[in-house]
Amino acid sequence: MKLHVINAGFFKLDGGAMFGVVPKSIWKKSNPPDENNLCEWAMRCLLIENGKRLILIDNGIGDKQEEKFFSYYYLHGETSIVNALNTAGFSASDVTDMFLTHLHFDHCGGGVIRRGEKFDLTFTRAQYWSNQDHWTWATHPNAREKASFIPDNILPMKESGNLNFIDLNKPSPLSEFEIFTASGHTDKMMIPIIRYNEKTICFVADLLPSVGHIPLPYIMGYDTRPLITLEEKERFLGEAADKQHILFFEHDPINECCTVKRTEKGIRLDQTFKLSDIL
């Protein structure tokens, strides 16, 4: 098995929204904002190569929305998941499985492309993976999350016939990883736990957007159930510290990976490094 980091560009979000009740005077030390109070965030995906199977975990925002939509998020860098794959030596048609941690637009938008007035799958040969509970949550959204669940990103997956639902009560049908389920950010977000060369690598998605979110109270204002996130982080980070799991960040603009440790103040950052340093 081989792992490849796929960088699908950067975007910006409001710093206060990203850190919830934590004061700006504190969070700006780890994530400095610009003059508009916006912080930069990565869209870092992971490609798992295992024999004939090529699994892509998340795919960024994509490029099919209207100009007004993109004006809110200041996309920059390589914003095409297809180009990012090409840079890594792969094509969209090579992907056999498109695994989606959840269906917010910055995680799934690159999985569907616009062709004139129609929408097609970006990865035409791939099976797309979500779970039934989260799919229902995303396709019947609450008012708080509605703007994050864009129908043009989501519905074409089912219409294509390539959508599959993972039964979260059974072992993952993708044998390359296990799944940790988190419901504080959004209902039934799936965190892949990958066993690789006697190491455990956790693709943390929006459970931990950056190293700046490691302290337990540092929870996004976007989370629908922050107290559940608090419990999930405590359980997840405790195990990560005790077992020296490697955390792979999707959104941290600088740090790809880190380990954490127990301290008198709770779980804290230990070391940061690139995934290539351990492969």
Task: Could you please state the CATH topology (level 3) that the domain comprising 2-277 is classified under.
Answer: Metallo-beta-lactamase; Chain A (3.60.15)
pLDDT beneath 50: ranges in the chain: none
Measured from the Cβ of residue 102, the count of other Cβ atoms closer than 10 Å reads 25
Instruction: Return the C-alpha torsion angle 91, 65, 166, 145, nearest 10.
Output: 150
From the list 248, 261, 256, 247, the residue with the least C-alpha distance to 274 is 256
Task: Please provide the size of the chain in residues.
Answer: 279
Q: How far apart are CA 207 and CA 229, in angstroms?
A: 7
Sequence spans of domains, the chain:
2-277
Each residue's pLDDT tens digit, 114-132: 988 899 999 999 999 999 9
Predicted model pTM: 0.96
Q: Which helix (H) or strand (E) holds 68?
A: helix 67-71
Do 43 and 8 contact (CB within 8 A), yes or no? yes
Q: How far apart are CA 114 and CA 129, in angstroms?
A: 20
Each residue's pLDDT tens digit, 97-115: 999 999 999 999 999 999 8
